[in-house]
Each structure stands twice: as C-alpha cells, then as structure tokens.
Chain A
Amino acid sequence: MTVSLIVNGQRRTVSATPDTPLLYVLRDDLELNAAKYGCGLGQCGACTVHLDGKAVFSCLTPIGATQERQVTTLEGLGTQAQPGILQQAFIDEQAAQCGYCIAGMIMRAQSLLDRNPAPSDAEIRRHMQPNLCRCGTHHRIIRAIKRASAVLGSQNGKGDAS
C-alpha cells in the first residue's frame, strides 16, 4: 500500500506492506539512520521517534497506522552543522559511549523537554526509564538533558525580559 505521512516536516510517500514497522520504513526506504533496531519488542527504546509529538517505539508502529500522521526523528532536531539544543548538549557532555542507544535517548528526552522544559533529576530518570543503555552512559545522558534544560531556561528567560 502507499502511505503518506509527514516526516520531519516533509510529506513523504512510501510504498510498503501496511504491517511494515515504521522503523524499517524510516531506515530502509527513507534512509534515515537515527532510529535503530534494538529489540523489536518495545523494551529498549533504541527505535524511539515522535509520532504526533509523542515518543513511541517505531519498531511497534505499523506503517499502515501512520497515514497522514506526523513523525519526527533525530534528524528532525538538527544537523551536524546546526545541531539542535539537545543534540548540542549531548556533544558538550560527550554523552555517548558506543552511541547506539543515543538517538532513542535524545528523542525520549526531547518529548520530556517539550512538555516540561525544567524537569527535576527524578522526573528525568522516571521519564527515561523505557530506554536502555548498556555502556553505562546514564549520568552523562542525564547531565546532557539538564544542560539542554538550562539552555532552554535561559532562552525563555531572555524572551521574558525583552
């Protein structure tokens, strides 16, 4: 079937059997690398993307269920030349070891910051619970989220002051 959806702000049309998980469409058809296959069971979060603004496991999202829906992947947050705030924070904190989980981590974290730009440590930990990291980079990830939160805060602060 042909599915038309909005990926990172652009309308994309793909031809795939409707059961194909969004993950495979993103990676193989749209050549977006960020979302990763980790378990295919919704247990590790490596495939996390945003669907209509909410963090979801793309490995469990059939493409047939995404008709006309909005998908945001890590690529939608910025580029190497112009990284998004959270991406830059991950670079600044050197928040990766192997980095396989990181795309999912950033997308999960972004969904928190979208809702709550100033989360506490406890809120961050609770929110990040669905995503697994095997290298033990958790502290750097938490620091990166807090750094991004601080940047957002200072930007908002400036906005208020002007």
Chain B
Amino acid sequence: MMPSNALTTTRRNFLGGAGLLVAFSLAGLSSARAAATGEAEPEGVGASSALPDDLQPFPYLDAWIRIDPAGRAQVFTGKVELGQGIMTALLQVAAEELDMPPHLVSIVTGDTARTPDEGLTAASHSMQYGGTALRLAAANVRMLLQRAAAPMLDTDEAGLETTGEGTIRAPDGRSIGYGAVAATLSLHVQAQADVPLRQPATFRTMGKSLPRLDIPGKVTGAVSFIQDMRLPGMLHARVIRAPAEGMTLTLPSRTEIEAMPGLYAFVQDGDFAAVVCEREWDAVRIMRQLLAGQSKRKNGAIPTGTIADILKALPAQDYPIEKVAHPTAAATTRLSARYARPWYSHGSIGPSCAIAEMKGGELTIWSHSQGIFDVRRVAANLLDLSEDKVHAIHVQGAGCYGQNGADDVAADAALIAHALPGRPVRLQWMREQEFGWEPLGAGMVTEVVAELDADNRIVTWNYDVWSPPHNTRPTSANGVLAGWEVTHAFPPPENVPIPMPAGDGSRNSNPLYALPNMDVNFHFIPKGPFRSSAMRSLGAHLNVFSIESMFDELANAAGIDPLTLRLDHMSEPRARAVMMAGAEAFGWQTRRPKGKFHGYGMGFARYKNLGAYCCVFLEISVEPNTGFITVQRARAAVDCGEVVNPDGVRNQVEGGLIQSLSWCTREAITHDAERRTSFDWSSYPILRFADVPVEIDVDVLPRLGEPFLGVAEASQGPTSAALANALADATGVRFREMPLSPEKLRRALIAL
C-alpha cells in the first residue's frame, strides 16, 4: 500500500508516458541541481539571471506546475515534508499565485523522476528559495493563462481577471475555466522574472492558517510515513553493526548465520552485514543473536574530559570570520568567558527507515532523506549504477531536525536490495542504532573577551569558536556508513567548513550588533571524536548562546537592562522591531522580581544574519533543592518576512523553543573512551510533558510584501540563551556550559 496522500509515484507510472514528459520538462538549462544546494547560501547559477535561485536551473514552467483539462493544478517541488508543514505552505503559495482554491491544487514533493532538484530541504531555505521560486512560476502560469484566455473569450487581456475559483472572467461576466485554457497552452516555456505577483491586499490563501494537509491522515492511522509503506512481496531487513560508531563486531561464520531459522538472506560486503527475513520480527531476533557477539573499538580511544579539553586538543584550521577596527573610548570593564555545548542526538522518535527495490537493472529507493537527489547520487556511486538507473522518492519519516540516519539507512537498503533483486526490502534502524551511529550535532566551545567603556558602549569584541563539522552530508558513497564498510570502500572525504555567510560552526558567530571592534575567528576541527553533521541551526545554537549570554553579562556588569544594551548596539530596524515587539508582548519593561530563584531572560538572533529574526523572552523559577527549572512563561516574537501560514510559523517556533529548552537543560551524548554510551531514552533523556513551559506564546510580525525568510531554526539559539540569562537573573549564578542539567544546577544552587 502506498502513502495515501498521493505524494509519491509508483514505478509503473514513472515508466509510463508521464516519465517522458517529466524528463523533458526537467531538462532545464543545466543538468545541475538548483542553486540552493545545501546548507550553504546559494551563489546564483547565472549572475545575469534575474530569476530566483531555484528557478535558474529549471526555468521551464512545466517542471513546476501542470494544469489538467479539469482545471486541477499539480505542483512539483524538490522540497520535502519533514513535519515542518512545508507541503501545506508551498501549496498555499502556488494556490495564491495561481489564484485557485487550495483544494484544486495538489503537490508532488522530492522525487528524482518528477520534481526539480532543489537540493536539500534544510537550513530554513524551503520558503526562502523553494517558496520564492514556486511563487514566481505560479505567477507566470497565471499570466499565461490570462493571456491565452483573451482570444478564447474574445476580449482584451487587460480586462480579464482571475476569480480565485480557477476561472478567468471577462468584464461582461463571461468566464472560462483554467482547464479549458490550459488545454490550449504549453507550459514548456521559460519563466519570466518580471511577472507581477499578487498583492497582499488581495490575498485569498497566503497569510491564512490553512490546516495542514497531512494531519487528518496522521491522527487516524493512514499510511503517512515511510515506516508505514507496504509493497507486495516486501522483505524486512536489519543491518548488523557493533553497538556504536568506531567499533567492530565479530560475527559467526556465514554458514552458521545462514542456518538461523527465519532467515531469508544474509547480505555481506566487507564490514557491511544485514539480515533479511520474510517477517520483521525474525529479522530483529536474528540481529540480536548476532549482536551478542564480541565487539570492540577499532582504533584509538575517544578522548574524555570536558568539551573544551577534548576540542582544544584536536588539530584545527583557523578561519577569520570578522575583523572590524575603529577607534573608541578607553575600556573600563573587561569580561571574558568560555561557553560550551555537548554533542547532541537528533533524537528522531522514529528510527531511520528506507525501502529499496532492484528490478530490471533499475533501483528504486523510498527515503525520508532531506536530500532525495543525493540519495540517488550516493546509491548510484555505491552500486556503480548510472544515475538514470536509480529513482529516489521522498516519503515522510519522523522529524529529523538535520542529518540523522536517513541517508545512511537509504544506502544500506540500496545495498541490500541490490543483492536481492526482484523484491522490495524494507530496512528500519533500531533505536540503539540511531543513537549509536547517526551523525551527531557537534560539541562546541567558544571564548569571548568583551570590553565596555564608561558609557556602557561595547568597545572590544574578541570571539573564538571551536567546532567539528556540522555538514558532512553525503553526495556520494564516501559520505555514508555503507560506503565505508563495503569491500571496495569509499574512504571518507576531508571535511570542509561551510563558507560564510551561512557558515557551520561559524554560523552566527559574527554578531549582528553594531560593534566598533570585532575579531571573530573560527577554529574548524576537521575530525572530531564523533561523526557529526547538520542539526537544526548548526553552530548558531552555541554562537547565539554565547553572544547573548555575554550581552547579559555585560549588561549586568554595567548595571543596565539587557534589552537596553542590545538596542543600544543594534541598528537594523527589523531586529529592533522584533526585540521591542517581544518585550512589549511579554511585559519586559514592567517585569518585577518575584523573589529568590525567580527570574527573567531574553535572547535574540537573526538566523545566519540573513534569515528570520527571533527574540525569546522567558520567565522562570528554579528549584534549588532539585535543580529543576519551571519555565512559567515563554514568549517569542518572530519576523520571517511574508507569512504564508501563521499557524505553521507558530508551530515551528513553539516546537523549536521546546526542543531548544530540552537541548539546553537535559541533553548530552555520554561516552567513555570506547564508545558513545547514550543508546536509549534513559541514557539520553529529553524533555517530557512535566518539564515543558507552563505557557508559550508566539507573536508573528506581519511583514506583508517582504521576501520569505524561513523560520524552522530561528528559535534554537535565542531560547537557550534566554534560559541561561533567566537562570542568571534568578540565581545570580552564570551557567556557561550546557546542559544546564538539574544535577548541575542543584549542585551549584542548593547552598545559596
């Protein structure tokens, strides 16, 4: 059974007539994928093109939108649903610019055979780039429809208007449906950049909280996730790996394994091993039997100690990020501090899963990866197939929040299916495999030296950040576990940092504040003790935490309000507006101390200094006898440009806020010299219901007509910073090393 939301195609119709048409429309100007390839900011494919970045390599409108004779629109996007509601929001964008009711629009997401390659669904780019491209494409289609309708209605184009119902009306009231017009029209034409967009005053769909398309299915048990897919003849696999990254497992002989009851096939290639069974439970059972064997660390102990101890002892490459020098008054106050965060797990509730099928020399992979075109590249490389023999289709998985095991499990499944042609193979990682092998969010350290003059102006800002990679996303077989394990292994590439302005460990390390002297340096550690890659907001989490903590430390030293110090050093009007709107809604200026162990804190950032603005205010109480924090009130103000779906924005910001609180107060991958020792939710606890804030409110600033900015990662940094600041306000103690765990707080606070 296929997912019910019609987001995917079966191979049959892929190989049918539709496939040819698709191939034709996707053969754009370049075979390269869209400019917004990954975590980095796009540089633009053709500097001369005025088209949005994602449209440049795929300028033909029929790559993005098709309208059938019945007047229904089908929209194609390379972006994918990760639980962030993007499918609904993109559909709204298309419906708005097509001026059609949303129910007449359907959307096809990430599919190498059907949609444009818009790179990763990551980095809060989907609205900013994907939404912008789709919007212009839809506006082009609307214009073409209107133009083609004029002779059909025997009237002048200028007098025609769209009705919002999928029809075009003449001044005399006669109208014609999009379907009839579209039947006469080829959309295989290139998009024009200067097509008028619909104006906010006349919006019918954008700016409204259209209910999410996927929720009714998810609350009633429809096939919604890749984990739910069932294909005829599907086999179940489990991959056999030692308990954690960096270890090897001794397996019994092949003969012994193959004699195990319930086994359909044992697939082995070098260090890669998997068991395949008709029944899923048999696969789990056999996997456990094999895991009972001896495992040991391959080579070299994992360094132990504090995060700073570990990171600063590793070789690093130095990148200057920001250097500003201006004469200033003499400094009167000097503060220095070190901040740190541990390694985090993405902690998807559903462990990664993929389905693959090898048939007639062609491989189909269903995956919840954020980069479905990269899944194809990796598999083609791993199995030495040409890319046109690999079809990768995105199907939703559990929230991933970055690069979890999705890409690895897709390659695993491809490898297994390749060995067992003719039957689809479903592979889901176990909980402990996800904890043990997924790339982690990198542990990081920062050091800040800041000085104030007598007028409480910041005159010096020296900032250093150390971080392992936040971007080891695979684009070929050398980026996935299976690639490292097969006999003809693909050795991992040298890791490189993402350049600014996006940055990775350096993301948001350059303060948005107007400071006269800045010396910001990034110490990139190419090889950390653990595999690490993108996790929601990347390095911005600790950088914002550090900058915003130091601002509060400075405000405290100066004896001025933290908001005042920020506004005194902020010249961007929209940043100021977000801070002030949030402060107003929260009642920051009228806040009153409510006794010992109660306090307030704020944190601000503009994500990547070019995305959404977000300011978080918290009111907390902390129980010194247990170290537990209660967030009494959380209020976030956000400016993410034009808002397509206000409730979707609130949902993302609220979720990011809670997740950030969980990182900041509870989470840390534990390890010893041999391995990661976090393997389940009892060794990697996250926030549960009892610990989430009592109240949360999100205020979304209306920014009609402004470009989309993306919102998914905006609240990660500001929330953790606001918590540290509120904690310092409540206790007088500054906590600089996350997690601000109950144990740590209790130890520090109980005797106060």
Is chain B in direct contact with chain A in the complex (CB below 8 A)?
yes
Question: Looking at the complex, which one of B83, B219, B651 makes contact with A91 (CB distance below 8 Å)?
Answer: B219
With A33-B228, A37-B350, A44-B349 known as contacts, the answer to whether A83 contacts B430 (CB < 8 A) is no
A interface size (C-beta, 8 A) = 59
> A24 and B655: CB pair below 8 A?
no
A-B contact count (CB 8 A): 182
**How close is B286's CB to chain A, nearest CB, in angstroms?**
12
Add 8 more A-B contacts to A33-B225, A74-B221, A80-B222 (CB < 8 A). A28-B280, A43-B682, A91-B216, A99-B224, A100-B227, A101-B349, A136-B658, A140-B654
Q: Could you give 22 example pairs across A and B, Cβ below 8 Å?
A: A19-B281, A31-B1, A31-B230, A34-B221, A36-B227, A38-B349, A38-B431, A41-B680, A75-B221, A83-B216, A83-B220, A94-B211, A96-B214, A98-B83, A99-B215, A99-B218, A100-B350, A103-B218, A126-B690, A129-B689, A136-B662, A139-B693
> A138 and B658: CB pair below 8 A?
yes
> B220 and A94: CB pair below 8 A?
no
Q: Can you name the residue of chain B whose Cβ is closest to the Cβ of A17?
A: B281
Cβ–Cβ < 8 Å partners of B223 in chain A:
33
Cβ–Cβ < 8 Å partners of A27 in chain B:
228, 280
A40 contacts partner chain B, Cβ-Cβ < 8 Å:
yes
> B655 and A136: CB pair below 8 A?
yes
Q: Which residues of A, 21-70, contact B by the 8 Å Cβ criterion? A: 21, 24, 27-28, 31-34, 36-41, 43-44, 46
Name which of B150-158, B394-402, B474-482 contacts chain A: B394-402
> B680 and A74: CB pair below 8 A?
no
> B219 and A132: CB pair below 8 A?
no
Question: Looking at the complex, which one of B218, B430, B686 makes contact with A96 (CB distance below 8 Å)?
Answer: B218
Residues of B near any A CB (own CB < 8 A): 1, 82-85, 209, 211-212, 214-225, 227-228, 230, 236, 279-281, 284-285, 347-351, 396-399, 401, 428, 430-431, 647, 651-652, 654-659, 662, 680-682, 686-690, 692-693, 696
Q: How far is the CA of A77 from the CA of B398 in the complex (A)?
A: 22
Question: Looking at the complex, which one of A46, A73, A137 makes contact with B651 (CB distance below 8 Å)?
Answer: A137
> B351 and A37: CB pair below 8 A?
yes
Q: How far is the CA of A28 from the CA of B217 in the complex (A)?
A: 19
> A98 and B398: CB pair below 8 A?
yes
Q: How far is the CA of A5 from the CA of B219 in the complex (A)?
A: 24
> A100 and B280: CB pair below 8 A?
no
In the A-B complex, list the 3 residue pairs whose CB atoms are closest, starting with the nearest: A98-B83, A136-B658, A136-B655
Q: How far is the CA of A131 from the CA of B690 in the complex (A)?
A: 11
> B689 and A125: CB pair below 8 A?
yes
Q: How far is the CA of A102 from the CA of B692 in the complex (A)?
A: 17
Cβ–Cβ < 8 Å partners of B349 in chain A:
36, 38, 44, 46, 98, 100-101, 132-134
Q: Can you name the residue of chain B whose Cβ is closest to the Cβ of A100?
A: B398
Q: How far is the CA of A74 from the CA of B227 in the complex (A)?
A: 16
> B686 and A74: CB pair below 8 A?
no
> B281 and A37: CB pair below 8 A?
no
Q: How far is the CA of A101 from the CA of B689 in the complex (A)?
A: 13
**How close is B434's CB to chain A, nearest CB, in angstroms?**
9
Question: Looking at the complex, which one of A33, A40, A125, A139 makes contact with B696 (CB distance below 8 Å)?
Answer: A139
A2 contacts partner chain B, Cβ-Cβ < 8 Å:
no
Q: How far is the CA of A12 from the CA of B220 in the complex (A)?
A: 20
